[in-house]
Amino acid sequence: MPEITGLRGDDPAEVAGYRLTGRLSSTVYAGQSAAGETVAVRLLPAEMDPEPFLRTIEPLQALSAVSTAQILATGLLGEQAYVVSEYVDGPALEAAGRTLNGVALYRLAVGTITALVAVHQADLVHGDIRPGNVLLGPDGPRVIDVGLERAMAASAISTRKVAVPAYTAPERLRGAPPRPPADVFSWAATMVFAASGSAPFEGGSMAGTVDRIVNGEPDLPDLGELHGLIAACLAKDPATRPAASDVLLRLVGQTSYLTGQVVTGEPPSRPTEPPPRRRVSLLPLAAAFVVGALVSGAGVYAVTGGNAPARTVTAATSPASPASPASPASPAATPTITSAQTEAPLEKVEKKAATETKLPTIGVTLHEHPNDPVRLVSYVESTGSFTSYAREKSGTFKAVGVTEQPLLSPGGDWVALNPLLKFQGSELDQVKFTKLSTGESFVVSTVKKPLQSLIPVWSRDGGKLLLSVYNRESKPARLVGFVVIDLATRKAVHVETEYLDDATLTYTFAPDGTIARGYWDGKRGGIEYYDMVGQVTKTMHWVGLPRGASWFSPSGKRFATVCPDGKSFCVWDTKGGARQATVPFGHSNGSFLGWFNETHLLVQDPGKKKGTQVVKIIDLVGVTERVLADFAKDDPALIQFARVQGR
């Protein structure tokens, strides 16, 4: 915990409505909001020109808070500029007093590079990555002072006095401005410090260190699987270093099942072919999942309800959507909107839970009823050995693996275990299958390195497993196809697709057993259906973007997406694409998880207490019927909700 000392006589009592409670350093104070939340308040030197500083720091307020200390407010106190940011209750890496290895080092690497991904995707740079700017918070590492050096430089003020520029990229020592490759270099040097307690170019003096950074080779400790990646990031030539996004995907190779971010665009026109792909990176969304899954051990799988294209493609038969989201829908231009209740009888949801089940190792409390058609069926511990658990038909949870993503089949007996750490002793990616009732197990190889198979989804009959395939070495990493594993034959079929698409829009099984996925062309989002040679057979370009892998309802007659306007969830008819319901977001940071029954959705929203989350059952007008689970922290540990067999 950072040391907080008392205020001095000349210190202000309040800044921007935050009451100051103590000093964290000579320029940073601890403060408290009216709601009692602790913040960090930096008061800039009185001699600096505040206007250029505030202009430079302003874009950082919109930055994703994934693994960074979020900026809450900026402004002037008299003639002094201030920055109010999220308080991280943990020591700086340089003061932690210990070195890291194994899983701990891996988690630190993922968390901190995730922060850089978010910064760089916002067309910003950090400019000052070092052990003093990485805090080891209780919910994972946080990178602080993002962009502060650049903002201070705009006012001709140095952010800090550097005794030894041990973490500075060689091009910056030659006078180049801070750019993303320099951040990657500094990140790698900081990871070396985390593993060894010293900088990789330590030269005994400033001159010696500068000479080693510019001309010498780094001293690298035993970094395990990170060794080659860290060495590549410390290359002298910035052009040869991997981008932060590539580093992240090489480390984890995972993408988001759930995201709270909504991608919007202009409403679609009706093409006869899918428009050519123009890559719009959604990697910060993937980063959010990665941090949850492997940094704080968190993330939520969508409900699994049993449930590259050729140039010439058959277009969807449904009419196009309206020309403007503000314009009334024309019957000739958009699918007919019907009442959801006329399409399916309103299904009952038990208003009160009958049992409460606590899973203390992941901080989750389940509020279940015997009549629920959906329940939690698997999870991964967020600390310790990262043990994977699957729920037996009796209701008890059984340990089934370690550092593996468990996915229980619709039949409730077979568990697919997808390794979170790939290529451990083999060039082949593999999936392990274990039968809960007998302990029988077997392994199926999917693709060969550098490809990876991720985001498993069971078919509705439990006979096949679908995984999305990524090229981990392409720049940027792309979704390049899918793999289908047949449980009966124990063989995998790898299907390449012509479109190399965004990594966050993964494949899933459609109700009829064909393959479907969302797509984003830079202007609009929709869905596509594929055959087993990778060709698109149908597209619905007006429906918006699906989330996760479980957007089809239990009957398969409808599916849900984030609406094209990005302001609500839309429910569509699967056959023709007519809109059946528009469901308002419960919270701006909420996420769609899947279907509870035919007329209710599962969503994840922030809880009443800061840092908590809830999974809620809502109807198709957005009314909450019941809370299904409480999460004691923002991101619970790799949880899978799934349908109960026969319901």
- Looking up residue 245, the CATH number of its domain turns out to be 1.10.510.10
307 shares a domain with 242 = no
Q: What is the pLDDT of residue 349?
A: 94
Cis ω on the peptide bond leading into residue 476 (within 30° of 0)?
Answer: yes
468 shares a domain with 569 = yes
H helix runs in 516-562, sequence order: none
Strand partners, 104: none
Structure-block tokens of residue 83: 């920055």
Instruction: Report which of 366, 397, 392 is spatially closest to residue 379, judged by C-alpha positions.
Output: 397
87 shares a domain with 214 = yes
Q: What is the pLDDT of residues 426-473, one digit of tens each?
A: 899 999 999 999 999 999 999 998 899 988 999 999 999 999 998 877
DSSP H helix total and E strand total for the chain: 10, 34
* DSSP state letter for 293: I
Domain annotation covers residue 258: no
Q: What is the pLDDT of residue 377?
A: 94
Give the torsion sign (CA, 9, 10, 11, 12).
positive
Across the range 185-207, mean pLDDT stands at 92
CATH (domain of 398): 2.120.10.30
Domain annotation covers residue 272: no
Structure-block tokens of residue 592: 């769609």
Q: What is the pLDDT of residues 522-549, one digit of tens each?
A: 778 899 999 998 888 899 999 999 988 8
290 shares a domain with 195 = no
66 shares a domain with 215 = yes
pLDDT band at 495 (very low <50, low <70, confident <90, very high): very high
Q: What is the pLDDT of residue 8?
A: 84
Structure-block tokens of residue 154: 């705009």
Domain annotation covers residue 274: no
From residue 85, give the alpha-carbon distance in Å to each of 105, 460, 479, 612, 618. Answer: 26, 46, 36, 20, 34
Q: Which of 227, 251, 275 is the last residue of a domain?
A: 251
Domain annotation covers residue 262: no
Close Cβ partners of 597 (under 8 Å, ≥ 6 residues apart): 347, 349, 373, 374, 554
Domain annotation covers residue 263: no
466 shares a domain with 592 = yes
Give the domain extent around 104: 14-251
Report how many domains make up the chain: 2
Using a pLDDT cut of 70, give the percent of the chain over it. 76
345 shares a domain with 246 = no
Does position 323 have pLDDT exceeding 70, yes or no? no
Q: What is the pLDDT of residue 267?
A: 30
Domain annotation covers residue 1: no
Domain annotation covers residue 277: no
How would you list the strands of the sheet with 451-458, edge to edge? Answer: 451-458, 464-471, 478-486, 491-501
Q: Which of 209, 234, 251 is the last residue of a domain?
A: 251
Close Cβ partners of 103 (under 8 Å, ≥ 6 residues apart): 386
Q: Which of 251, 268, 299 is the last residue of a domain?
A: 251
Cα–Cα dist 310/403, whole Å = 37
Among 12-26, 235-249, 268-282, 501-515, which is the least confidently predicted range? Answer: 268-282
236 shares a domain with 317 = no
Close Cβ partners of 302 (under 8 Å, ≥ 6 residues apart): 257, 258, 547, 548, 549, 550, 551, 592, 593, 594, 641
Cα–Cα dist 636/169, whole Å = 37
292 shares a domain with 246 = no
pLDDT band at 157 (very low <50, low <70, confident <90, very high): very low
Q: What is the pLDDT of residue 245?
A: 83
pLDDT band at 140 (very low <50, low <70, confident <90, very high): confident
Q: What is the pLDDT of residue 249?
A: 74
Among 33-37, 69-73, 151-155, 455-459, which is the least confidently predicted range? Answer: 151-155
402 shares a domain with 330 = yes
Domain annotation covers residue 142: yes
pLDDT band at 361 (very low <50, low <70, confident <90, very high): confident
Instruction: Give the three-state DSSP class for 447.
Output: strand
How would you list the strands of the sheet with 507-509, edge to edge? Answer: 507-509, 515-520, 525-530, 536-540
pLDDT band at 65 (very low <50, low <70, confident <90, very high): low
303 touches 596 (CB < 8 A): yes
68 touches 146 (CB < 8 A): yes
581 shares a domain with 452 = yes
Does position 296 have pLDDT exceeding 80, yes or no? no
Q: What is the pLDDT of residue 559?
A: 96
pLDDT band at 354 (very low <50, low <70, confident <90, very high): very high
366 touches 628 (CB < 8 A): yes
Does position 67 have pLDDT exceeding 80, yes or no? no
Q: What is the pLDDT of residues 513-523, one digit of tens each?
A: 999 999 887 77
Across the range 4-8, mean pLDDT stands at 84
247 shares a domain with 287 = no
Q: What is the pLDDT of residue 299?
A: 37
Pairing of strands 639-643, 558-562: unpaired
Across the range 629-643, mean pLDDT stands at 79
pLDDT band at 291 (very low <50, low <70, confident <90, very high): very low
Instruction: Give the three-state DSSP class for 248.
Output: helix
